[in-house]
Amino acid sequence: MAIDARATRRKGRSISVSEDIGSDANAHQDGQWDDHYWWSADGVRLHARIYPGPAAAADAPPLLCMPGLARNARDFEALAPHVARSRKTIVVEFRGRGDSAYAKDPMTYVPLTYVQDVVALLDELAIPRIATIGTSLGGLVSMFLAASLPDRIVGAVLNDVGPELEKAGLDRIRDYIGVGGSQPTWMHAARAYAELNGAIYPAYGIHDWLRLTKRTHRLTPEGRVIADYDKQIAAPLRLAGDAAGIDLWPAFRAFGDSPVLILRGRLSDILAKPAAAKMAAELPRARLVEVAGVGHAPTMDEPDALVAIDAWLAELPAQ
């Protein structure tokens, strides 16, 4: 039986930022989203969460949220309800992550394919213009979207990513992506995740690690806890080698005079402070905000990040 890729599937509820940090808990529609599925050009069934946003902002360009390399829609479970108070918000899951299907060809796990997948979604939903919020890989996809479709991008948040990336951080990611087995319980998984990423979030306690682990892992039918992505996403990385020679500055400059927020984890080993400062100086409406006490990458529910994102939202066009 054919699946209608345009149909929404079920409703869910995410944790709002306000609940997470203990302030006003009245997120739009209590954090409700619709699950939406669409097809890629090469036949991969893909998934997104769609938060409807307020009726008063129906004509505003929606927000398109894109997660990092090994992440999924749950990366935005706190931020998405918060920003959806202002406008419609779409959180995509790249192929091979979360509820999106795994690709048959692992060599399609590359940014240009993700761009094509996202454009297929925007065309299907008849969305002419968007603002993007992208973490790491999601930010790279955002830059490529700006380069290929500059008239459709009205603003961007680049979360700990830019046109210059540190080799040491990239090597660290290559070392762990696609590696690792399963854990018998969520607590075991959280402790293992903390051991791997403790330098990134040095102030985290076990409850923070449990929350982050449940955003990034899933239960197998056998009751084991595993990372929620296709391990083959690492295949292109193994072949990529040193990407330092690729000039991504033209893609970054394609944002033009749109408002661009550059978030940098103060402990980041991916986006160096000089590179972030250069980005902020390169575009007329770019702004750099450092998030204290975290590395790559901020979860964007930190108070510093929220204040910066709210200010960026206020700069976006209303129509």
Tokens of 65: 């949220």
Could you tell me if 87 and 44 lie in one domain? Answer: yes
Could you tell me if 172 and 194 lie in one domain? Answer: no
Establish if 189 belongs to a structural domain: yes
pTM: 0.90
Could you tell me if 157 and 217 lie in one domain? Answer: no
Is the distance from CB of 136 to CB of 69 less than 8 angstroms?
yes
Could you tell me if 264 and 285 lie in one domain? Answer: yes
**pLDDT digit string (tens) for 227-243?**
999 999 999 988 755 45
- CATH number for the domain spanning 80: value is 3.40.50.1820
Could you tell me if 94 and 122 lie in one domain? Answer: yes
The C-alpha atoms of residue 108 and residue 44 are separated, in whole angstroms, by 11
Could you tell me if 49 and 137 lie in one domain? Answer: yes
Establish if 205 belongs to a structural domain: yes
Per DSSP, the three-state class of 289 is: strand
Radius of gyration from C-alpha coordinates of the chain: 18
The pLDDT value recorded for residue 153 is 97
**pLDDT digit string (tens) for 23-75?**
333 333 457 999 999 999 999 999 999 999 999 999 999 999 999 999 999 99
Is the distance from CB of 297 to CB of 270 less than 8 angstroms?
yes
Confidence of residue 1 (pLDDT cuts 50, 70, 90): very low
Establish if 239 belongs to a structural domain: no
Burial class from Cβ neighbours inside 10 Å (0-12, 13-18, 19+) for residue 199 reads exposed
Could you tell me if 119 and 161 lie in one domain? Answer: yes
Could you tell me if 31 and 84 lie in one domain? Answer: yes
Establish if 201 belongs to a structural domain: yes
Spatial neighbors of 6 by CB under 8 A, at least 6 apart, are 36, 38, 124
Q: How far is residue 318 from each of residues 8, 19, 74, 278, measured CA to CA in Å? A: 26, 27, 27, 29
Is the distance from CB of 283 to CB of 253 less than 8 angstroms?
yes
The pLDDT value recorded for residue 242 is 47
| 13: pLDDT strictly greater than 50 | no
- Out of 167, 201, 228, a domain closes at 228
Is the distance from CB of 128 to CB of 64 less than 8 angstroms?
no
The C-alpha atoms of residue 67 and residue 95 are separated, in whole angstroms, by 11
Could you tell me if 95 and 218 lie in one domain? Answer: no
**pLDDT digit string (tens) for 246-273?**
899 999 999 999 999 999 999 999 999 9
If one compares 240 and 134, the residue with the highest pLDDT of the two is 134
The pLDDT value recorded for residue 241 is 53
Domain count for the chain = 2
* Phi/psi of residue 126, nearest 5 degrees: 55, 50
The range of the structural domain enclosing residue 145 comes to 8-177+244-315
Could you tell me if 109 and 219 lie in one domain? Answer: no
Could you tell me if 119 and 199 lie in one domain? Answer: no
Confidence of residue 193 (pLDDT cuts 50, 70, 90): very high
Establish if 234 belongs to a structural domain: no
Handedness of CA 101, 223, 79, 157 (dihedral sign): negative
Could you tell me if 146 and 73 lie in one domain? Answer: yes
| 276: pLDDT strictly greater than 50 | yes
The pLDDT value recorded for residue 3 is 34
Establish if 161 belongs to a structural domain: yes
